[in-house]
């Protein structure tokens, strides 16, 4: 059953013309992560590379393609977590960085802290030799159009958020049985300057523990934070629930308790995985035993050989 990697490209409602490109993007990210695992790479290597690929893809709300804050600027959040040691690294409200997930990994590996924010994260990036990129290179025409649309007085940014794939993320188990997760996002459309969502918060925007499993979520950040969604799923798995059962229980609770929609990718130490969501759609893909699984709508599950799709 090992190795395995599962990736999501965000939950919500995607316009038809973008849905296909979103599915292509998660499949490509999954194949990249799986190739790393097959060569003996670590779960952490696999999830970071898979997420970085989606940060570089303008179809997703992370890195290039991030949604804009109320001032029309990009502020991004990302986190990683290592299931061996429970070490984690995160950045929040970071600007001018092409791949926040790689910076989050550096926070985990090169500092004693778990999260660096805004200008502090930028200073750290410079000290690590991470190149800064012009903000314009991260802003797409699509993001600009949706920013302008949501400046109108009667706009509903939470509802409109569902018009673009949201947060991206990945979970993996490598050949040695080590588990990791990574999550990255541009946040919520037209958010206040300095708003930080669930993504960089341990137990909300992700969790990984070799003894239990890993989770990467997507959806309305404030709702995910209120129920600490990732840790809630891990809790249910600790109680003996399968990844699918645990995901469904937690997503149902989030919907009923705080009226929040979202989705998750989850894996356990044996390689049992799940991709579950309460929103209309979530682009997801998984690679295991030479097969690539993927879907977009609820109940949808396609399978093809991994190598055939390369």
Report the 3 state secondary structure along 99-151. Answer: CHHHHHHHHHHHCCCCEEEHHHHHHHHHHCCCCCCCHHHHCCHHHHHHHHHCC
Q: Is the dihedral of CA 303, 66, 163, 280 positive or negative?
A: positive
Third-level CATH fold of 4-305: 3.60.20
pLDDT of residue 309: 47
Place of tokens 């965000």: 10
From residue 279, how far is each of 48, 143, 216, 240 by CA, in Å?
25, 21, 15, 26
pLDDT of residue 156: 65
Which amino acids are annotated catalytic?
167
pLDDT of residue 310: 44
C-alpha–C-alpha distance, residues 168 and 184, integer Å: 5
State in Å, rounded, how far the first CA of the chain is from the last one. Answer: 21
Chain length of the chain? 310
The secondary structure of residue 72, as a DSSP letter, is S
What is the SS3 string spanning 17-37?
A: HHHHHHHHHHHHHHHHHHHHH
pLDDT along the chain (310 residues), means of 10: 97 81 95 98 98 96 95 97 98 98 98 98 98 95 89 66 71 98 95 96 98 97 97 98 98 97 97 96 97 96 82
C-alpha–C-alpha distance, residues 213 and 263, integer Å: 16
Q: Residue 297's closest CA among 4, 12, 5?
A: 12
The secondary structure of residue 164, as a DSSP letter, is S
Annotated binding site for substrate: 195-198, 218-221
Place of tokens 């910076």: 103
From residue 215, how far is each of 70, 99, 182, 301 by CA, in Å?
30, 20, 9, 20
**What is the reported pTM?**
0.95
Place of tokens 């690294």: 89
Annotated binding site: 195-198, 218-221
């Amino acid at each position: 059953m090992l190795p395995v990697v599962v990736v999501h490209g965000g939950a919500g409602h995607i316009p038809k013309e973008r849905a296909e490109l979103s599915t292509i993007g998660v499949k490509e990210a999954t194949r990249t992560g799986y190739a790393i695992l097959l060569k003996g790479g670590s779960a952490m290597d696999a999830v970071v590379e898979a997420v970085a690929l989606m940060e570089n893809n303008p179809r997703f709300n992370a890195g290039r393609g991030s949604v804009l804050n109320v001032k029309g600027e990009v502020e991004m959040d990302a986190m990683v977590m290592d299931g061996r040691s429970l070490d984690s690294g995160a950045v929040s409200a970071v600007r001018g960085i092409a791949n926040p997930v790689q910076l989050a990994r550096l926070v985990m590996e090169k500092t004693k802290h778990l999260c660096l924010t805004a200008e502090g994260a930028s200073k750290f990036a410079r000290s690590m030799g991470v190149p800064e990129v012009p903000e314009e290179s991260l802003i797409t025409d699509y993001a600009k159009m949706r920013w302008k649309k949501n400046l109108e007085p009667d706009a509903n940014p939470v509802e409109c958020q569902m018009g673009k794939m949201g947060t991206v993320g990945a979970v993996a188990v490598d050949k040695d049985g080590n588990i990791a997760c990574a999550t990255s996002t541009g946040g919520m459309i037209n958010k206040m300057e300095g708003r930080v969502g669930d993504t960089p918060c341990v137990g909300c925007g992700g969790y990984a523990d070799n003894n239990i499993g890993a989770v990467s979520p997507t959806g309305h950040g404030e709702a995910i934070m209120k129920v600490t969604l990732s840790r809630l799923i891990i809790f249910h798995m600790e109680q003996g629930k399968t990844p699918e059962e645990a995901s469904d229980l937690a997503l149902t609770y989030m919907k009923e308790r705080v009226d929040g929609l979202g989705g998750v990718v989850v894996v356990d130490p044996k390689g049992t995985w799940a991709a579950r969501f309460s929103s209309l759609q979530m682009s997801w893909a998984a690679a295991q035993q030479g097969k690539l699984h993927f879907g977009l709508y609820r109940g949808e599950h396609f399978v093809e050989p991994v190598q055939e799709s390369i």
